[in-house]
Structure 1
Amino acid sequence: MKNLFFVAGTFSILFISCSKREPAPVDDNQNIKMQYDTTAIDSFSAGATSVDIVRQIRMSSQRYQDSLKEALRIQKEEKRIKEELEKENKKKQEEEKKKTEKEDKEKAPVKASV
């Protein structure tokens, strides 16, 4: 009987010591840093703006400015191309006009002599 108590006591001590242990709860309140999404001046006043919204406004306005510059550049490029085409058309018309005048001058003496 003494051996049975000894074996039972030893087995219970072994079972308790080898069981899965849960970690002790750590005080997380000291390690957490608060991350605010509003400006630091006075986030509760009227007109306080979220940091994300301010960032989006700045990005959108920069994009807007870039798009305006791009549109202006494209417009200037189109205008330049259009002017070049008009100049080429004018040159072609002048050359055709000169050719027709030259042909008319060549044909006029021929008609007069007939």
Structure 2
Amino acid sequence: MKYLFFSAFVFSALSVSCSRKEPADLYPADNPKADYDTAAIDSFSNGATSIDVVRQIRMSSKQYQDSVKEAIKLQEQEKKLKEELEKENKKKAEEAQRTEEKNKAKTAEIPAAGDAKTE
């Protein structure tokens, strides 16, 4: 008789604990839903690449290499143009100095020649 009560108690405890329960609705209809995407996007998500890897990919691309070469050519051309302009400016300055010296020499000679004529 003891075993009968004990087995009935165990059977009832098992039937109560193992009975199928309805899960609570995790997303009830009356809860407002966000209008925006709430999924977190970070560097550890699938498909994400490191900034360094992306930088290396961009730097190794043919378009980037071409643009670097073109920039170097432009810099060289600008440097050459500046040097040529500087040379031209120096030549002009020298010529201007020469003409000024000649003009000063001529003006100095003219009064001296005029003084000799008046005496």
What TM-score does the superposition give when structure 1 sets the normalisation length? Answer: 0.53
Q: Which has the higher contact order (CA 8 A, sep 6+)?
A: 1
Matches within 5 A, 1:1-114: 45-46=49-50, 47-48=53-54, 49=57, 54-111=61-118, 113=119
Identity of aligned residues (%): 12
Q: Secondary structure at the match of 2:61?
A: helix
| Number of residue pairs the alignment of both structures matches | 69
CA root-mean-square deviation: 2.3
Q: How has the CA–CA distance of structure 1 residues 102 and 54 changed in structure 2, closer, same or farther, with 3 Å as cutoff?
A: same
TM-aligned CA deviation for residue 92 of structure 1: 0.8
CA deviations 1:3-52 (Å, max 9, x no partner) are: xxxxxxxxxxxxxxxxxxxxxxxxxxxxxxxxxxxxxxxxx74224269x
> Does the residue aligned with 1:63 lie in a helix, a strand or coil?
helix
Alignment TM-score, normalising by the size of structure 2 = 0.51
Match of 2:19 in 1: none
Measured after TM superposition, the shift of residue 79 of structure 1 is 0.4
- Structure 2: state its 5+ residue gaps: 1-47
Gaps of 5+ in 1: 1-43
Instruction: Give, as a single letter, the amino acid of the residue that structure 1 aligns with 2:110.
Output: E
Separation of aligned partners in 2, 1:65 and 1:86: 32
Tell which structure's C-alpha radius of gyration is larger.
2
SS where residue 58 of structure 1 aligns?
helix
